[in-house]
Each structure stands twice: as C-alpha cells, then as structure tokens.
Amino acid sequence: MQMPQGNPLLLSYTLQELLGRDTVQVELIPEKKGLFLKHVEYEVSSQRFKSSVYRRYNDFVVLHDMLLQKFPYRMVPALPPKRVLGADREFIEARRRALRRFINLVARHPPFSEDVALRLFLSFSGPDVQNKLKESAQYVGDEFMNCKLAPRAKDFLPADIQTQLAVSRELIRNIYNSFHKLRDRAERIASRAIDNAADLLIFGKELSALGSDTTPLPSWASLNSSTWGSLKQALRGLSVEFALLADKAAQQGKQEENDVVEKLNLFLDLLQSYKELCERHEKGVLHKHQRALHKYSLTRRQMLSTTVQSREPDAAEQLESRIVEQENAIQTLELRSYFSLYCLHQEMQLVHVYLPLTSHILGAFVNSQIQGHKEMSKVWNDLKPKLSCLFAGPNSSLTPPRPLEDGVSPQ
C-alpha cells in the first residue's frame, strides 16, 4: 500500500492513480465454445501485463478463493452466480460484465495488484491455470503472517477507531442505498432508449410497407390516384431516415449502459465488498476471539478446581500447559483483531478514493444525453424537408402542415 511518511495507516491515492494501475477487458469467445455448451470461455486482456489469456468461470472462482485465503481482511469483490440451467444470452452477457468489474477492482486494489496470484491469472498462458494458482498459495500464510506491521497495528489505530468504523458503516450503507436507486433509474433510461430504437425501426418499416402496397385503387378513387402514388413514393423513402433514427437511439442506449450503468455497478460492487468485509470482521476474527476467551475462562476454572480437589501434579501440569497455549492463541487473535481493524480503516479510505467516480458517472450521463439528442435532432431536421411532398396545396404548390383543429384537416 502506498503510504505517506508518518502513520502507515493513512493512504495517499487518487482515483486516477487507482484507475491507471490496469484496465482489463473480458470478452466472450462464442465462436470457440458456443453460448449453450457446458462452459463459456473468455478472453482476458490486461494493459498492464500486455497479455491476453483464455479463462473460464471456474478460473475466476479459484482466484477469488485464493484472494479470500490470502487477504481475509481486505475487500474481495463478489463473483456473479454460476451458470444456471437454461441460461440465455442476456444472463451470459450480464455475467461477462460482472466478471470484468470483478477483475478490474482486483487489478486496481493495491495489495491484490502486487500479488502473484493476480499476475498468474492475467498472464499465465500454460495449461491448468487453476493448479498454478493453488500452488502459488501453498506454504504461504495470509497477509497477517506476511506483513511486518501486523504485530504493531494497534499502535497506528486512532483511539476512537470503533466509533469511526460505526460512522463509516452508516455512511457506506446510505451511499449504497442511494447508488442502488440511481443504478435502477439509469438502467431504465438506457432500456427506454433501446426500446425507442426498436419502435422507431418498426415505425419506419410500417411506413415503407404502406408505401409499397400494390393494391389497386377502386374506380371511385381514380381521381386521387396520382396523389396516392406520390404519397406512397414519399413514404417508401422515409424508412431510411427512421432506420437511422433507430440506430442513433440504440447507440445512445448502449453508451449509457457502458458508461453510466456499468460505472454505477462497479461502485456498487465495491461498496458491497466493504459491507461483506465488515461482516467478516464481526463474524470471523471477533467471534473467534470471544470463543477463545470463553474457552480460556473455562480452563482456568477447571485448573483451580483440580488444584483444590486433587494433588496429582501431572493433571495440574497438563492444565497449565493448556492455559499457556490458550493464552498464546488469545494473544495472536488479539493481534489479528487489531490488524483486521487496521485493514478495515485502510479499505474505508479506498472506498472514499473511489467516491469521485460520481463525477465521472454524471459527466458520462450528461454527455450521452447531449450527444444523443444532438444526433437525433439532426436526423429529424434532415427528415422534415422530405415531408413536404406529403402536403400538396392548391395548384400543386406545397404548403407546410398546420395543426388540426377538432380532428378536422384545414385542407
């Protein structure tokens, strides 16, 4: 972790520095394995390592397990769910996006980014990467056992660390809830743009179908045959513009999915990993510490009872040995508890480093709206003159359309 001079607890990262650590792409390879076979394969490309490797979902699972094993006190992002029976293209695409978010959060996390497991995952192109990952973790303890500062973590913690963490958890919970609602709205906005594209395309096709109708006019309408023929010719030409409008709307929807919804999901994944880390802290090291203290208390009482009731030296020595072992275990758990708080404090700082991502998200959303409406407006304006032949005035002069009143045409 990058630390300033002085207290090593404090971090000095900017969002740009984190984002600049690596950018990893995860692309589906349907032509190789197909979308509906037993497994899907991904091409994982890293800018940092200038590598491109093939990975399967289970390879991500092994990496995830290795990170939890080696960094139990850090924010390890969750993986998307396993493949389910009848998984469709939509599910597979959503999982690909989630895997991309996972590996980018991992590749940009300071301790993870320097770990051999990540390097192997992103650059090892040999067979059986899963065994290679597992071998890299053999005989290697977790971060507590390998960090020189771990035994002194308590010295760097502020006196009100518990209060700070409680306030932080409340803040993260509120931010998560707000961003979750923002993500849902952004998804609906992007979805509406894509639905609008489909409707515009169908609208244009129906106009084209109307203009291509070959049904002959009845005799009583023969006086208007030239008018109807001109109208049909104009309608046929409009389908091109409506197809272009549909394309622009679809582009805007896809851009908002990639630049707005995905960034919101990335931040939500990070916030969720912080919440899960807090739960691991409470249910893991703190719970083990409490159990060890309880066991120690029982053994002490048992020793006192044995000393009073029995004069056998062997029994007393065995109990005394157990007490010493438990005292050592309790001391180690206490050190782990402080180191867990130390890591929690740093992870909380990393979450705040990511908070300026909000401005990136809003900027992408505004730019998408401006660009999308600008391009759509241009197509609509180009289409308007082509409607003039639909409005024939007296003596074949063209007049612009006027609003209808009471449903009756002024013409």
Domain ranges of the chain: 15-142, 256-389
**What class has domain 256-389?**
mainly alpha
The pLDDT of residue 84 is 63
The pLDDT of residue 130 is 95
Do the Cβ atoms of 197 and 217 come closer than 8 Å? no
The pLDDT of residue 397 is 44
The pLDDT of residue 171 is 94
The pLDDT of residue 292 is 47
Backbone phi, then psi, for 405, in 5-degree steps? -115, 125
Separation between Cα atoms, residue 279 and residue 285, nearest integer Å: 10
Q: Which residues of the chain have pLDDT under 70?
A: 1-6, 30-38, 84-87, 219-226, 285-327, 389, 391-411
Q: Which CATH superfamily is domain 15-142 in?
A: Phox-like domain (3.30.1520.10)
Given this chain, do its domains 15-142 and 256-389 carry the same CATH topology? no
> pLDDT tens across 159-184, in order?
999 999 999 999 999 999 999 999 99
The pLDDT of residue 398 is 45
The pLDDT of residue 319 is 59
The pLDDT of residue 383 is 87
* Cα 192 to Cα 117, 189, 199, 376, 382, distances in angstroms: 41, 5, 10, 15, 24
Separation between Cα atoms, residue 114 and residue 70, nearest integer Å: 12
The pLDDT of residue 87 is 65
Greatest extent of the chain over all pairs of C-alpha atoms, in Å: 127
* 312 phi-psi bin (left φ>0, alpha ψ -120 to 50, beta other): beta
Helix (H, G, I), strand (E, B), or coil: what is residue 405? strand
